[in-house]
Each structure stands twice: as structure tokens, then as C-alpha cells.
Chain A
Amino acid sequence: SAVISQKPSRDICQRGTSLTIQCQVDSQVTMMFWYRQQPGQSLTLIATANQGSEATYESGFVIDKFPISRPNLTFSTLTVSNMSPEDSSIYLCSVGLQRGLTDTQYFGPGTRLTVL
């Protein structure tokens, strides 16, 4: 697997502000993903972060609210814009690695966000 780090590990923010979360991998990877885990809920895929092109967003998520950057094959950022209390969640990045016949996703430790 890869070593995946996220910054910050947690933050408390005021409504209306924005927070940028960083995801760093210790090796070059093609696939990077961003997930949201709302309190007591499962994980929902926000978008696939594509290197050199715009991210691919899932239904219900838009670029204006969750802009994503992927400047190289080891780094990505997710910004949560104009936050409201409903954005309080754990945000996780993951990478897809070729293991055997297909790909497997490995996850970072997550960023716990509280919006007041």
C-alpha cells in the first residue's frame, strides 16, 4: 500500500468560510479520490481527482462548492467553500493502486471538519 497523509487532521471553522484540505502520497499514483463521511454515515464519493484535467464530480457535488486541484501525481487538494454546518463531516482522500488483477483503494486518515 501507499503512505497517505492529510492536512489538517481536524479543524473547526465558521460558516461562510472555506477550508482547503491537502492529501499527499508517498508515491506517484494515477487515481486519487475524495470522499465525504457525514456523522454516523457511510462514505460517499465526491469526485475523482484527475492529474492535468478537471476533476470528475459525482451526482450531487459541484465544482463551485468542492473545487479540487491535482497538480501532480502525488498531491491533491479539496476545498470546501462557503461552509455551512451541514458540511461538518470527515473528508477522506484515497488512492487507487494496481494490486494483482485490478485496482484497490487505500485511504488517508481523514480530516474531521466541524462548521459552527
Chain B
Amino acid sequence: AQSVTQPDIHITVSEGASLELRCNYSYGATPYLFWYVQSPGQGLQLLLKYFSGDTLVQGIKGFEAEFKRSQSSFNLRKPSVHWSDAAEYFCAVGGIQGAQKLVFGQGTRLTINP
């Protein structure tokens, strides 16, 4: 069965600093990987996804993520964070059926210092 680990429960960065949120997955085949963001009191918004091809994927709001099969990782990055990026970030993995049966990580709460 697939699983997702987000090792960092809470991260604080200064506005303008770079950001990397970690995500490690467990799945026997090529996974379908997603990053979602949840702002306070909101639903989940899709940031980006990886299915195949180029291992560096670009998303919305200036985010990118890199799929590394050898490390079973799909880390999310942003070169310069904005105060509006403060939110909860979830990594998710889907199996052979794609987006069906998504398994989510525990989430990483991002705080931005002014």
C-alpha cells in the first residue's frame, strides 16, 4: 500500500527566503504525486503534480517540485516566499488509478516571518 511521509510538521521561514518542504513516499510502482495547499479555513488547492516525464515540475504561485525516484522523494520548493504563502501544505500519492485512492501526508504548516 502506498504511504506518504512529510517529516516536518512545522516550518518557519522569513519572507523572501527560499523554501523546501520534504515529502517521501512509498509505492511499488511509478507513483502519481501531488502537492496541495490549504489556507486557513479553506479547501485544498492543487499546486502541482507529477505523472511522468520531466522530473522537475512547475506549478502555480511560483512553486516547483522535483521527483527523485532513487530517494523516493518529491520535495516542494520556492525560491522566495511571500507572506501569503503561509498555509498548510500536503503531499499526496496516487497509484495505478491516478488520482483515485489518494493517500495524503500529515501536512507541513508553513509560517512566514515578516
Contacts and interface: CB of A to CB of B under 8 A. Distances in A.
Interface of A: 1, 4, 31, 41-45, 48, 92, 94, 96, 100-110, 112
A79 B45 CA distance: 24
Contact of A43 (B51, B90, B98): B90
Interface in B38-59: 41-46, 49, 51-52
A101 B51 contact: yes
A27 to B, nearest CB: 16
B101 interface: yes
B2 interface: no
Contacts of B102: 43, 45, 105
Interface residues of B, number: 23
A107 B92 CA distance: 13
B63 interface: no
A104 B102 CA distance: 10
6 contacts: A43-B104, A102-B32, A103-B100, A105-B99, A107-B45, A109-B43
Given A101-B51, A103-B98, 14 more contacts: A45-B102, A48-B100, A92-B44, A94-B44, A96-B98, A101-B52, A102-B32, A102-B98, A103-B97, A104-B49, A107-B44, A108-B43, A109-B43, A112-B41
A107 B98 contact: no
A105 B90 CA distance: 13
B3 to A, nearest CB: 11
A4 B107 CA distance: 23
Nearest to A4: B43
Contacts of A106: 46
